[in-house]
Amino acid sequence: MKKEMKKILVTGSVGQIGSELTMELRRRYGADNVIATGRKTEPSEELRNSGPFHFIDCTRIETIEEMVTKYNIDTIYHMAAILSAVGEKNPQLCWDVNMNGTINILELGLKYKMARIIVPSSIAVWGPGIPLENTPQETVLRPTTMYGVTKVCAELLCDYYVQKFGLDIRGLRYPGIISYETLPGGGTTDYAVAIYYEAVDKGKYTCFVREDTRLPMMYMPDCIEGTIQLAEADFSKLKRHSDFNHAAMSFSVTELAAEIKKHIPDFEVAYEPDYRQEIADSWPNSIDDSAAREEWGWKPKWDLSSMTEDMIKHLRARKESGTLYR
């Protein structure tokens, strides 16, 4: 029997994906049924005023458990994570937050017999030596970043809890996510967001990866839709659980800049690659998400051209109202 999701806890709700995911979950399931949590960063007014918000620390299980018992939580979207670039600067913090945070969530899932737990993964699970184009679902996972190591471990850990304890856990490998609501923090794919902000703000951008860098990317509405779609899929129909490749589009920085120039003709990009180039070079150019399409009906709606038009429209409006960077 399919268990219902009635009281949802979102960790990492102040982050780039967590903030928009929380608002959409509140729209769909009722504001009071979605408990937003963060570690340090103050939430936006919209997030704080639209439903319950609390500070917790996922590495301290008692702080999560307090939320679970207070609100009778039966579903967790575990969005809290240290991303690739920050993870390389502070690998121990990355391990602590990503691994101890995840096992704490899974243990509480068992203890309180949760209906469902969603733990996102990332294209960072891959490393050198993989087929770069259309990287298959099943291929060697040997990441060279601490973030990637934690994401591979978390996928395995989640699958272990599914097989050993019958816990309902789902996860998908996010590409770089592009959005205009909340800035990403500490990832390698952040250039693909920053470029839009700087194009609208200053008409020029200095990119920290080379112009030929090509990575899988996705617009936020597709990311939110796909995440909730997987969460709502019939568990008995899923052959995989924690590691669905999740794709929408793939482009080089040159192609991205050319698309932006269609809206801002004088836009200029300079290139000063830094340590993040090596990380980007270790990830796929594009990925094969046929398992997600077959098992839970995934289909993206946005491509580079429609996303660019929408991003620029929203960022221009924000600039005009003096709230570009909020």
* Cβ proximity to ligand AKB, 8 vs 172, nearer residue: 172
Query: Position of tokens 């979207």?
Result: 77
Query: Which candidate, 21, 29, 28, places its Cα nearest to that of 37?
Result: 21
* Residue ranges in 138-167 that form contacts with ligand AKB under rule CB under 6 A: 147
Q: Quick one: tokens of 215?
A: 């990575």
Closest to ligand AKB by CB, 127 vs 176, is: 176
* Candidate ranges 119-127, 135-143, 206-214, 296-304; the one touching ligand AKB (CB under 6 A): 119-127
48 contact partners, CB below 8 Å, separation of at least 6: none
In whole angstroms, how far apart are CA 242 and each of 160, 200, 264? 10, 37, 40
> Which of 38, 101, 187, 284 lies at the binding interface for ligand AKB (CB under 6 A)?
187
**Binder of ligand AKB out of 21, 56, 83, 217 (CB under 6 A):** 83
What backbone torsions phi and psi does residue 159 show, to the nearest 5 degrees? -60, -35
Q: Is 104 in the site for ligand AKB (CB under 6 A)?
A: no
Residue nearer to ligand AKB on the CB measure, 36 or 287: 287
Question: Residue 110 is inside which H or E element, if any?
Answer: helix 101-111
Q: Between 37 and 121, whose beta carbon lies closer to ligand AKB?
A: 121
Catalytic option among 77, 147, 161, 205: 147
d(CA 33, CA 254): 43
Whole-angstrom CA distances from 97 to 78, 146, 222, 272, 277 are: 11, 12, 26, 30, 24
Per CB under 6 A, does 15 bind ligand AKB? no
Considering only 58-66, 96-104, 122-130, 230-238, which stretch makes contact with ligand AKB by CB under 6 A?
122-130
List active site positions. Answer: 147
| Contact set with ligand AKB (CB under 6 A) | 83-84, 122-124, 147, 174, 176, 187-189
